[in-house]
Structure 1
Amino acid sequence: MRGNFTATLATLTTMTLTLLMLGFVLLLTLNVNRTLEQLESQVEVAAFLSADADDAGLLKYVQALPQVSEATLVTSDQVLREMTQDSPYTRDAAALVGNPFPDTLRMRVARVGDSRTVAAAVKGLPGVEDVEYGAGYVDPTVKTLTAVRGVGYALVGLLLLGTLFNILNAVRVAMYSRRSEISVMRLLGATRSFIRMPHVIEGLLVGVVAAVIALALLTPTYLELVRRVHELAPVFPVVTDRQTLLPVLGGVGLLGVLIGLLGSIFATRRYLQELE
C-alpha cells in the first residue's frame, strides 16, 4: 500500500465519498418513509350523512371494509362543538339558523392510496350525501413522496454498483502495477491464495478506513441537519431515535467493509485467471 500510495489514496477517497453519498441517500429515504407513514396515519375519509341515514348500519359496513383501519361516527352536535373550538362565531351562527353540520362517518385508511378506493365505495351508499378525502393535496403529496422514495432506492442501487466497480478497478490496477512481482512469485511456485491474500487484505483495510471516515463525517453532519430542521420546521417527522439510526449507520459501515473485501476477492481472482 505504501508502494502504491497514490492508487490506494484514490481508492480510499472514492470509497469514502461513495459511502457518504450512500449514507445520505439512505437517511433521506428513511425520512421520506417516515413522512409517508405519518401522512398515512393522519389521512381520513369523511362521509357526510343525510338526516334519514342508517348511521349504525353504515358504520358497521365501513368498519368491515379491508382498507379501513378505524371508523367512527361523529354526530352533528359533536361536529358543532369541534367547529366552535376553532371558530367561536360558529355557535352564534348555529343559534340563528340551527346546526348546519350533518352526522359524519370518519374513516382512517391503512394506506394513503386506499383513500380514493374507500371514498368511491362509500359514496354510492344510501344515506351518504357527499364524501371528502382531501384529493387536492393527498394525491399530489403521495405521488411526490413515492417518486422521491423510488429515486432514493435507485440511487442506492447505483451507488452500490459504482462502489463495487471502483474497488474492482482499483485492485486490478494495483495488481497490474505488481505484475512483475506476481510473475516471479508464480515462477517460484507461489499458490494462488498466497498471491491473492495481500491484495484481499489491502481491499479489506481500505474498506474499513473508508467506512470509519464516512461514518465520522456522516453522523455529526446528519445530527446537525436534524437540529436545524427541528428549529425551522418542528412538525417535520425527522428520524432521530437510535433504534432506527444505528442499524442504518452500522449498515453503511459494514457495507464499506464488505465491498472492499468482496471487490478485492473478485478482482484478484479474475486477474489471475487472465494471466493463466
Structure 2
Amino acid sequence: MKARTVGRHFRESFKSLSRNSWMTFASASAVTVTLLLVGVFVMIMMNLNKVADDLEKDVEIKVLVELTANDKEAKQLEKEIKNIDGVASLTYSTKEAELEDLINDFGENMGLSEQNNPLRAAFYVKATNPQDTEKVAEKIDRLKNTYSIEYGEGKIEKLFEFLNVARNVGLVLILALLFTAMFLISNTIRITIVARRREIEIMKLVGATNGFVRIPFVLEGMWIGILGSILPITLVSLLYFNLYKILQPYLEGEMFKLLPITPFLYQVNILILVMGIFIGVWGSFMSVRKFLRV
C-alpha cells in the first residue's frame, strides 16, 4: 500500500470522527464505561490474586526431630530432606531456638527454662509449589528420625481449594465482562456504520476494494477505542494511587499487602489501552463486513 493511500485512510478516519461527532461520542462513551468497569475489576482481582499468592507462600512444613537423634543424624536428615523433589527451602531450628520463640510468643511465665527444655529441634520446609505441600510432607514423613510433621493438614487443602475457586471465578467474571463489553461496543459502532451504509455502497459500486473501504472504518474504531480509554486510565490511576496511600500505612508489617503502584498501574493502564483499541477495531471490522456484500 502506497504512503499516499495510507495518508488518505488516516485523513478519512479523522474526518469521519468529526462529521459523526455525536455517534463518535456515543461509541467512545460506551467504551469508557465498559473499560472503567473492567479496569476496576482487574485491579481488584490482581490484588486478590497477590493476597492468594502471599497466603500460599506463607505455607510451610514443620518437621519435628526425634529427641534421640544426635547432631550427625540431624544433619543426615537435613540432607535427605533437601534431596526430596519439590523442596524449595529448608531452615533448621535448634531446641534452644524453639524454646526462645515459644517464650517470646507466650511470655516467661510458662515455667520453661533452658535447663528444662521439653521441645524438639525442627526443620521448616517450604515446597517449590505450595500446592504440593501435602505430597512433600508425606515424603518427609517416611524419613528416619522424624517425630511428626505439621503443616495444617485438612485446613491447607481447603485453603488451596478456596483460592483456586476464587481465581477461576475471577477469571470467568473478567472474560464475561470483556465479552459483554465487546458485544455492547460493537453494537454501538454498528449503529454508526449503519447510518453510513449508503456511503459504503457507493464506494463499492465505483470499484473500491473491500480493504480500501474497510481500513478507514477500522482506523476510526481504533481512535474510538483510544478516546474511550483515556478517562478509565485516568480514573483507575487516581483511585488506586489514593487507595494505596491511605491503606498501605495500615498494612505495614501485615501479611497482606497491596501491589506497589509501579509497575502495577503501568500494567493495568496498558491493558486498558490495548483492550480499548482491540474492542474498537474488532467492533468496526465486524460491523462493516456485512455492508461490503454489494
TM-score (norm 2): 0.81
Q: Which moved more, 1:14-23 or 1:86-95?
A: 86-95
Distance 1:75 1:91, change over 3 A: farther
Unaligned runs of 5+ in 2: 1-16
Distance 1:189 1:118, change over 3 A: closer
- Alignment-mate amino acid for residue 208 of structure 1: I
Distance 1:175 1:23, change over 3 A: same
| Residue 63 (structure 1) aligns with | 82
| Residue 24 (structure 1) aligns with | 40
Q: Which moved more, 1:176-185 or 1:146-155?
A: 176-185
Aligned residues: 273
CA contact (8 A) 1:11 1:166 kept: no
Distance 1:68 1:90, change over 3 A: farther
Identity of aligned residues (%): 26
TM-score (norm 1): 0.86
Q: Which moved more, 1:67-76 or 1:242-251?
A: 242-251
Match of 1:132 among 122, 141, 150: 150
Match of 2:98 among 72, 79, 83: 79
SS of equivalent to 1:26: helix
CA–CA separation in structure 2 for the residues paired with 1:192 and 1:129: 76
CA–CA separation in structure 2 for the residues paired with 1:19 and 1:65: 47
CA–CA separation in structure 2 for the residues paired with 1:93 and 1:186: 92
SS of equivalent to 2:130: coil
Deviation at 1:90, TM superposition (A): 5.6
CA contact (8 A) 1:211 1:253 kept: yes
| Residue 41 (structure 1) aligns with | 57
Deviation at 1:62, TM superposition (A): 0.8
Within 5 Å, give how 1:101-250 maps onto structure 2: 101-135=119-153, 137-234=155-252, 235=254, 236-250=256-270
SS of equivalent to 2:120: coil
- Alignment-mate amino acid for residue 87 of structure 2: V
Distance 1:198 1:2, change over 3 A: same
| Residue 272 (structure 1) aligns with | 292
Unaligned runs of 5+ in 1: none
SS of equivalent to 1:100: coil
| 1:11 and 2:27 matched | yes
CA–CA separation in structure 2 for the residues paired with 1:245 and 1:47: 41
Deviation at 1:29, TM superposition (A): 2.9
